[in-house]
Chain A
């Protein structure tokens, strides 16, 4: 039992599921981010390569990381909302499929 109630938060049966997909998505994003850092460290000249609409890899990868963050966030939310509706209405622990 907690020594002090956090807020008046109801039990969320979808928490285990959300934790797992959150960690998985975090790993996916971290790997793409790591790729950006790795190219800069090991092959910085590659960043000058023109790849799309006259833009070089540095700009496309940079914008891509920002846009990917939003896309993953929206997918994560959709999955969370779906599972919350599913398991919380049934009042049972969420299972990871």
Chain B
């Protein structure tokens, strides 16, 4: 069913592309859909473009694994549209033609701006492309039972075909279709979650949590049930884990348990674990990994409003009651943590339950440590800053202002986008917590939480939601590739390189660039397998906000802005944001180094790189006022 619906959708999308391909012969038709898209269609297409894998898969997955903290992305992503509407929309439409470089360069005709803005477009687009392609691979594995790389290649080839045939026109209609379907079926999913209500055992196939009582002194641990024997203990940053043999010492059934102190003594809680032997053999919960032996789904409520067991079941509830019940201080939700350590020559990864009070789930603090040190709080502020200022600086969003006929239409389409995207982001909280309490989460990868939640309601909803999730990736990747190909063909080749391409040649150059960027995206999607989708998009926002937004805002609101100031601001923004990211604790962890040894103590660069870019623009512009008259005169 899933494969059929997916194939049907892809066939329809490709058919649409070939149909519009015949109409997209001019550069304006290819890069900006001829500026003829109706504002209402463009608004929903904005939603289709913007609601990427990070929104649907990443945010829902983050809420499903970390509670409210994932919803912070929804709030920040949506708030960014206010900057787009009130500050950027109409001026971008008035000043630009195909790319946002046009708008930045409108007053100056500066080679420096053309080069810097094109480089910035390419870097931001590629940063944004990586998580989309990774998301494609994540989706394909359960949907089509294909390996990660196959999914990435498939998406890459389909998108290259969409973009290379008809450019922005087909991309617009793919995004319109996908945006509309995503919102409709997400609403259906949320209604289904409320209709089911809450219970402490929503999925009999989910991992149940068993408990053993134990006592200990001087480091020795004794389990009350004599059929269990402690073999060894491991203390890691995530807590203490105990290796236990059941019914016989080393010859018995071996399992790993999490040791927790409670008021009356020590409690051991069952876990799931993956062991990789020295020869590469992989075992899950003690048995060889296979199609039938994998990690069991997790996520449930242990108590609802203080009630446990059958009496806790709520039956169908309204949307607000759903959130209120989960967020109640007497409710307990089992989140799942991860720990990894060496046990002799074995590499062991443990997934363990973390019972958490409902009132802690429904407020920030589990991922972003707002209760933590000043630096951790600064990291949170930095993220919220980048999300707020990033949207209006994303090249693939900005080019959509050129697909409508007038600045007023640009404004109206932004308002449609705010309505559609805002409504969807409200739904993400319900879908995320729905997955969190319905026993559907894959403990090793939260990205699939929303589609897996749909699967708990039957194959048809799963098939449709998965196909839409795949389309989500298609729509966003198409937009990114159009933006990147515009930067190469229009900004770099035609304007910076001075090739003065004819309309036809510009379209051909755009198609070749789309193919090249698509191939790069495929390679990166395979290389970055396993990276967190939402987190990477947060970085793309930070780079965009640092490199592009200061230039856009100062060009519009500060008359002393010079071309050299814009160039310096873009370059400083890129270098600062990228440099801070590469030296951050998150990247140190990825390099296999100790995160605490990272020279930059936080993972979100915006709070330094955005002001730095602004300051650079002001200082360089003030220092180059003498050049300004000649710059403007040359442009005239």
Contact = CB atoms under 8 A, between A and B. Distances in A.
A80 B411 contact: yes
Interface size range of chain B in the complex: 35 or more
Q: Describe A's contact surface by its main secondary structure.
A: helix
Interface string A22-36: 110110011001001
A44 to B, nearest CB: 4
Given A2-B95, A23-B86, 10 more contacts: A2-B635, A3-B635, A37-B384, A40-B380, A44-B363, A44-B365, A48-B362, A62-B71, A69-B78, A73-B415
Q: Which of A25, A65, A66, A70 has the most CB of B within 10 A?
A: A66
Given A6-B95, A44-B370, A69-B79, A56 B363 contact: yes
A96 interface: no
Interface in B28-84: 35, 68, 71-72, 74-75, 78-79, 81-83
Contacts of B321: 54
Contacts of B539: none
B419 interface: yes
Summarize B's interface: helix, strand, loop or mixed: helix
Contact of A58 (B94, B364, B402): B364
A4 B97 contact: yes
A6 B412 contact: no
A26 B380 CA distance: 22
A65 B85 contact: no
Interface of A: 1-7, 9-10, 12, 15, 18, 22-23, 25-26, 29-30, 33, 36-37, 40-41, 44-45, 47-48, 50, 53-59, 62-63, 65-67, 69-70, 72-74, 76-77, 80-81, 84
A58 B225 CA distance: 44
A5 B97 contact: yes
A64 to B, nearest CB: 10
Top 6 closest A-B pairs, CB basis?
A54-B324, A22-B86, A3-B109, A47-B363, A26-B86, A58-B363
Nearest to A61: B75
A6 B102 contact: yes
Interface string B343-374: 00000000000000001101111000011000
Given A26-B82, A40-B380, A3 B422 contact: no
A69 B415 CA distance: 9
B81 A69 contact: yes
A59 B362 contact: yes
B558 interface: no
A6 B363 contact: no
